[in-house]
Amino acid sequence: MIYDQARYVENGQYEPLLSEKETTEVDVGGDDSPLPDDLTRDSVELPDLSEPELARHYTRLSQMNWSIDSGPYPLGSCTMKYNPKFTEAVAADPNGSVHPDRSDESIQGNLELLYGLQEYLAEIGGMDAVTLQPPAGAAGEFAGILVAKAYHEANGEDRNEVIIPASAHGTNFASAAMAGYDVVELPSAEDGRVDVEALEAAVGDDTAALMLTNPNTVGLFERDIEHIAETVHDAGGLLYYDGANLNALLGRARPGDMGFDIMHYNVHKTFATPHGGGGPGAGPVGVVDELAEYLPSPRVRERSSGSGYELFDPEQSVGKVHGFQGNWLVLVKAYAYIARLGDEGLLDASAKAVLNANYLGSQVEFDIPYGPYHHEFAATSGEKDAADVAKRMLDYGVHPPTTKWPEMVPEAMLTEPTEIESKKSLDDLAAAFNNAAADDEETLADAPTRTTARRIDQVSAARNPRLSWRALGDDE
């Protein structure tokens, strides 16, 4: 495939932002507004564009961007899945868009859907109770750790440590620290899994929880999971499951059955809703019975009369972690996805996620030090700089994998094609890896050359961030 990304440049500048285009001062009247004068204005400055010009502006921006709608996007652990358009259609149904303060009685359909999603997720994770409130995966982690903390405090236990493997997602460390815990980092064993002896030495009266993802961040299944769970539970700690890698297990194994007490679900990863970076996200949390009363509020339950649904606050709830019932439209998309796939479809998704990763891994010439892996693998670019290889892969018309992480693999390229890619796409991806592997240092260092923008100046971006359109004129 020959690939060249679109590039619109005007006066040496990429497609100008709306705020940089010609504007017109528009009179908005407002004399009869009941608001105080200092809260109103007489005119507003708006971009001076016709509808087609506006449509072209956004189309151009999207063409200069990379998305999973334009090609493969195999970011390991970040899991970029195609968002099926039917879920967008369901979420766009105006019948579902009701004011969140309306009475339970008048939004029974919405509550039924939320209840159904709670039940679906509980079943999938092997959990007893689910909250849909957290607005993202990391927010779910934080809420889950707050639940663990509330549980220990209610039992009069003063536990101040959370144990996390060195290979875990960075959010795990942040969630535990934000909840006020000291983080104990667990080294990986030689085979890339949890070092069970180190865990046995680390657990004790101070252990509040162990946070784990399974399969772990290089795609390896934690074979000692039952022993790990027993070790943590015997010390009085809880086991937290980071749902980031649930894709490998979907419909086949359940965190609850492995001994996990708390988990979050990344609905954008596992159930194909958009990633939170582009708008609202959702990170529901599931727990075992013993912890249900601490979950964030509100949750949805069936009325005791047996007909209809109602919102309720769990008795010892840690409180709200987001407004109202969570990010409704994202939850609708997750529900629609699960309902459309059904048991058979979810089983097929995990099978293909693992099959695709293993087929792609078999076709890639870079060394893959740890295995057998499941839905993702961490290849190493060896003597080559993984960032250079990644930039070069862009030139071959695919998005590169996650680079330089996890650190247990030197120059890591953590790759997760997901179940959505066909054999043809996987072959294209493999070709991009292998072409980059064959390119010389100079070509790699110079890449990318076919993208809209070439190497981004990360240093200036970090040292002189301009975080608002108002700062655009502040050129150094």
Partner 1 sequence: MFEIPDDLRYMESHEWTSTDDVARVGITDFAQDELGDVVFVELPEEGDDITKNEEFGVVESIKAVSDLYAPISGTVVGVNEALFDQPELVNDDPYAEGWMLEVEPADEGEFDELLTAEEYREQTE
By CB under 8 A, name the binding residues for partner 1: 458-459, 462-463
Tell me the closest approach of the beta carbon of residue 462 to partner 1, in angstroms.
4
Nearer to partner 1, 106 or 460 (CB): 460
Tell me the closest approach of the beta carbon of residue 463 to partner 1, in angstroms.
5
**Structure tokens given for 422:** 């066909």
> Rounded distance, CA 117 to CA 408, Å?
37
Tell me the closest approach of the beta carbon of residue 271 to partner 1, in angstroms.
32
**Structure tokens given for 119:** 């039940």
Nearer to partner 1, 2 or 462 (CB): 462
Tell me the closest approach of the beta carbon of residue 358 to partner 1, in angstroms.
31
Nearer to partner 1, 11 or 458 (CB): 458
Nearer to partner 1, 438 or 459 (CB): 459
Query: Are the beta carbons of 30 and 37 closer than 8 angstroms?
Result: no
Q: E strand or H helix at 120, and its extent?
A: helix 108-125
Tell me the closest approach of the beta carbon of residue 404 to partner 1, in angstroms.
8
Question: What is residue 267's three-state secondary structure?
Answer: helix
Phi (first) and psi of residue 19, to 5 degrees = -70, -15
Q: E strand or H helix at 150, and its extent?
A: helix 137-154
Tell me the closest approach of the beta carbon of residue 458 to partner 1, in angstroms.
5
Nearer to partner 1, 35 or 459 (CB): 459
Largest CA distance in the chain: 74
Query: Are the beta carbons of 277 and 248 closer than 8 angstroms?
Result: no
Nearer to partner 1, 388 or 419 (CB): 388
Tell me the closest approach of the beta carbon of residue 170 to partner 1, in angstroms.
10
Number of residues that this document lists for the chain = 476
Q: Look at residues 324, 328, 333, 271 and name the one whose alpha carbon lies nearest to residue 296.
A: 324
Q: How far is CA 254 from the centre of its chain?
A: 19
Question: What is residue 312's three-state secondary structure?
Answer: strand
Start-end of H helices in 313-364 = 328-363
Q: E strand or H helix at 145, and its extent?
A: helix 137-154
Tell me the closest approach of the beta carbon of residue 63 to partner 1, in angstroms.
28
Nearer to partner 1, 150 or 412 (CB): 412
Q: What are the Cα distances from residue 325, in Å, to 99, 114, 134, 166?
A: 11, 9, 9, 34
Nearer to partner 1, 1 or 456 (CB): 456
Tell me the closest approach of the beta carbon of residue 44 to partner 1, in angstroms.
35
Nearer to partner 1, 171 or 350 (CB): 171
**Structure tokens given for 428:** 């294209």
Q: Look at residues 252, 244, 239 and name the one whose alpha carbon lies nearest to residue 281.
A: 244
Tell me the closest approach of the beta carbon of residue 461 to partner 1, in angstroms.
9
Nearer to partner 1, 1 or 459 (CB): 459
Question: What is residue 16's three-state secondary structure?
Answer: coil
Nearer to partner 1, 35 or 456 (CB): 456
Strands in 8-100 per DSSP E: 9-10, 13-14, 23-27, 43-47
Query: Are the beta carbons of 109 and 292 closer than 8 angstroms?
Result: no
Tell me the closest approach of the beta carbon of residue 173 to partner 1, in angstroms.
11
Nearer to partner 1, 85 or 463 (CB): 463
Task: Say whether the peptide bond before residue 401 is cis (omega within 30 degrees of 0).
Answer: no
Tell me the closest approach of the beta carbon of residue 471 to partner 1, in angstroms.
16
Q: Look at residues 238, 265, 261 and name the one whose alpha carbon lies nearest to residue 141.
A: 265
Q: How far is CA 287 from the centre of its chain?
A: 20
Query: Are the beta carbons of 236 and 210 closer than 8 angstroms?
Result: no
Q: What is the dihedral of CA 284, 288, 292, 294, to 10 degrees?
A: -80
